[in-house]
Amino acid sequence: MNLSSDPINTLENGIAKNKIKSISIYLVLIIAMLIFLALLPVIKVDISSQSRGIVRSTTDNVPLSSLVSGKVTFVNLKNNNQVQKGDTLVQLTQENLDTEKAINQEVSSTLQDQVHDLSLIVLSKSNTLKLANNDNQA
């Protein structure tokens, strides 16, 4: 731009031309900011966090299983109730537990007897092999 004595290219005309451009840029920026602020309640941003465990809905059923079977005599379960370690949730009758315990002890003693018998067999075979090796060497 040449700022000579030409009446069209004067300093005042240059400022006026640039003023219109700067006002239009300023208005575009203001309108963009207003649109952004107006859309803030509508825009949703996913926020994620990491942790160990399983997140379940309150409507999902959580299976509860026991290692033993028996008749339920007492239930202390309520919806949305926190459970601490050591809390009694369910009580079972001991009839089936006593019979299972007796059966398990019987099976355990039988297996121990079989292991003892097998160890005697292995010892006798090893002694027989030693005697046979000693006879062969003599």
pLDDT the model gives residue 53? 78
Phi and psi, residue 76, nearest 5°: -125, 55
Instruction: Using pLDDT thresholds of 50, 70 and 90, give the confidence band for residue 128.
Output: confident
Q: What was the pLDDT predicted at 112?
A: 95
Tokens (6 digits) for 25: 């840029």
106-128 mean pLDDT: 89
Evaluate whether 30 touches 43 at the Cβ level (below 8 Å). no
Whether the per-residue pLDDT at 13 is higher than 90: the answer is no
Most confident residue range from 44-48, 50-54, 82-86: 82-86
pTM of the prediction?
A: 0.33
CA dihedral 114, 119, 122, 126 (to 10 degrees): -160
Place 106 in a pLDDT band, splitting at 50, 70 and 90.
Answer: very high
Percent residues over pLDDT 90 in the chain: 18
pLDDT of residue 32: 95
Q: What residue segments make up the domains of the chain, in order of their start?
A: 1-42, 93-138
